[in-house]
Amino acid sequence: MFCTLAGSGRVRLENELALCIADANPVTPGHSLVIPRRHVADRLALLQPEWNGVVEQLKHRREQLSAKDAPISGWNVGLNSGEAAVQTVFHAHWHLIPRRVGDCAEPRGGVRGGGDQ
C-alpha cells in the first residue's frame, strides 16, 4: 500500500529513511502518516538510524503544520502494532494528528471519535 506513493500527490516530506504523507482518511485537517522506507510491520524491527529518520519526519511535519495553522493546540501521535491493536496496514507507520480546541464533541477516549470506545 505505502510502497506505491510516488507521484500520488500525498507525499509531504521525505528523507533517506522515511517519508511523510497526507492521511487518506484524516481525523482532522493535516493528519499525516510517517512511514519508514524499509517495509517492517513493527517499530521494534527498525534499526536506530531508521527510527531517527522517522522522528525527524514527525518533528518536521509538526513544525510545518504549526507554522501555517495557528489554532493547532495539541497533537496525537500514534502507532498501532499488531492485529489486536487494530493495525490494518502491516507496514509500520505513525499517525500525526493535529488537534484544535473543539475539534470533537468529547475528546477523551480515542483519537478517531472521542468518547468511550
CATH number at residue 96: 3.30.428.10
Q: What is the 3-state secondary structure (H, E, C) of 7-33?
A: CCCCEEEECCCEEEEECCCCCCCCCEE
Closest CA to 98 of 64, 72, 71: 72
pTM of the model: 0.84
- Give the domain extent around 81: 2-100
Is 38 part of any domain?
yes
Is 105 part of any domain?
no
pLDDT of residue 61: 98
pLDDT of residue 115: 40
**In this prediction, what percent of the chain has a pLDDT beyond 90?**
65
Q: For residue range 39-96, what is the model confidence (pLDDT) as tens digits?
A: 999 989 999 999 999 999 999 999 999 999 999 999 999 998 888 888 888 899 999 9
Is the Cβ–Cβ distance between 107 and 99 less than 8 Å?
A: yes
Is 88 part of any domain?
yes
pLDDT surpassing 60 at residue 2: no
Is 44 part of any domain?
yes
Mean pLDDT, the chain, whole residue set: 87
Is 86 part of any domain?
yes
Report how many domains make up the chain: 1
Is 42 part of any domain?
yes
Is 107 part of any domain?
no
Set of cell numbers at residue 35: 512511514
Catalytic residue flag (residue 93): yes
Is 110 part of any domain?
no
Set of cell numbers at residue 19: 517519508
Q: Which of 39, 60, 91, 93 is catalytic?
A: 93
